[in-house]
Amino acid sequence: MHILLAASELHPWSKTGGLADAVAALGQALARAGCRVTMVTPLYRGIRARAEKLGGLVDAGWPFSVPLGATLMDGRFWKLQPEPNLEIWFVENDGYYDRAGIYNEAHLEYPDNAERFLFLSKAALLLARHLPDPPELIHAHDWQAGLIPLLVRHGSLQEGWVRAPKTIFTIHNLAYQGTFPLATWAQTNVPPAWLHLDSASHYNQVSFLKAGLTLADALSTVSPTYAREICTPEYGCGLDGLLRRRSHDLVGILNGVDYGEWNTTRNPALGAHFDADHLAGKALVKAALQKELGLPVRADLPLFTNITRLTDQKGADLLLEALIAELPGGRFQFALLGSGDAELEAEYRQLALDFPHQVAARIGFDPALAHRLEAAADFYVMPSRFEPCGLNQMYSLRYGAVPIVRATGGLQDSVVDPREDLELANGIKFHEASSTALAAALRKALALYAVPEGLAHFRANGMTADHSWDQAAIQYLAMYEDVLHGP
């Protein structure tokens, strides 16, 4: 089976969040399973230089032009084959992609994002249509690739594309919909009659995401619970009616973890190594991190951590309120790594000043520190208002940090609370999106820390859980087979 994966970001070449990790790891897992995988993504600034470590990008010898409205836009393909069965095709257009950011700079969206990702979509279709061994299926990810199913459908019905591939569209976060003015439609070069409520038209605008939802042959999202949630008004972001109508085509598959990167036994970011049967190294990592962050080195106090975007979605405000309520007791330490809302950044900095012996706040992005925070933590806190999948809770399970999560999306699917199954328990859940409910969950964690054998039971369950991408790939392969050969 030959599968083309199209995405706007791809770890380790480009990344703003979990999309990059998920697409890269899925492609690798499919290649290991014996599929031929072609991945298509933009050639952003800096990628070419970083690829030199792997021998450099190969010029595919394929300069191309695609129309965006009345204008022909030029591009070029560059290739990399990092492992057997897997090729990455980078789409070059310096005007679109040679920029300081992927989607924005200084928190301001690029005004031509519609053009930039329409260009990516058309480049992906050019590959799919003209490769000597064309893909049988295109798997498009998130709004940036949302027009691909529409363009494939149009090419099949009106442009003589006889063996057009089937399409799958994956929603990584329904809240981001790629919505642009109606004038954007002219750049698709698809007749105006194709813009209607059953394609990309959404409240008198063009929605790239809705195009994917309406015209892909099948839909997936990144956890079973999120698949159910987005069919409700509370989580459906105005598209729940459409998703209910297509619910028979929608599958929720929990993202996996790349245990090659997220591991505790051969990790250069950690000063000591450990596993489920040998936890002495975890205590050493905790002590070293406390010293690194300027916190008192105390094994008797549990360490809570959080690595996050400081936004309402992630419940950063709820966590702040819960910490303010619980910190005066002096019973725990807390360390944060994150950035986002400027007001929340300032409030977390102030919290660290108010509680210098209990709180450390690092504002920014630091991948190596993220590994140390996961490995040092006794408890990892994820109070998200909604969370399509979430990855940090699965990282924390493997790293022996007991996750404290709100029961939503992938958090619900990957964490087991003792009230659900005491034998398999590996975390603590709360349900109401409030600081009061979160504070109660923090107190439960403190009680668990006071019972070493109970904490060891939770840790053992978490560290031996299998959330690998190989498990997710099996489910995706079954979905692909249904799309290609089903009724």
User: Can you tell me the mean pLDDT for 17-33?
Assistant: 93
User: Can you tell me the mean pLDDT for 436-465?
Assistant: 97
User: Can you tell me the mean pLDDT for 101-110?
Assistant: 91
Interatomic CA distance for residues 476 and 469, integer angstroms: 10
Confidence of residue 162 (pLDDT cuts 50, 70, 90): confident
DSSP state of 278: B
Round to the nearest angstrom and report the end-to-end CA distance of the chain. 18
What pLDDT, in 10s, does the model give residues 227-269? Answer: 999 999 999 999 999 999 999 999 999 999 989 889 999 999 9
CA nearest to 304, candidates 350, 264, 359, 369: 359
Q: What is the pTM of this model?
A: 0.92
Say whether pLDDT at 13 is over 70: yes
What average pLDDT does the structure give for the chain? 96
Cis status, amide bond into 12, omega within 30 of 0: yes
Q: Strand pairing partners for 58?
A: 79
Confidence of residue 107 (pLDDT cuts 50, 70, 90): confident
* Residues whose CB falls within 8 Å of the CB of residue 160, separated by 6 or more in sequence, listed in order: none
Domains and CATH numbers, the chain: 2-256+470-485 (3.40.50.2000), 280-466 (3.40.50.2000)
Residue with tokens 């009345």: 70
pLDDT of residue 286: 98
194 with 155: CB under 8 angstroms? no
Say whether pLDDT at 346 is over 80: yes
- Nearest 5°: the CA angle 390, 394, 396 is 115
Q: What is the DSSP pairing of strand 428-430 with strand 402-406?
A: parallel
Share of the chain above pLDDT 70, in %: 100
pLDDT of residue 487: 62
Q: What is the DSSP pairing of strand 201-202 with strand 2-6?
A: unpaired
CA nearest to 454, candidates 415, 462, 275: 462
Measuring CA to CA, how many Å separate 73 from each of 65, 104, 122, 176? 5, 21, 10, 26
Say whether pLDDT at 108 is over 80: yes
What pLDDT, in 10s, does the model give residues 37-85? Answer: 999 999 999 999 999 988 899 999 999 999 999 999 999 999 999 999 9
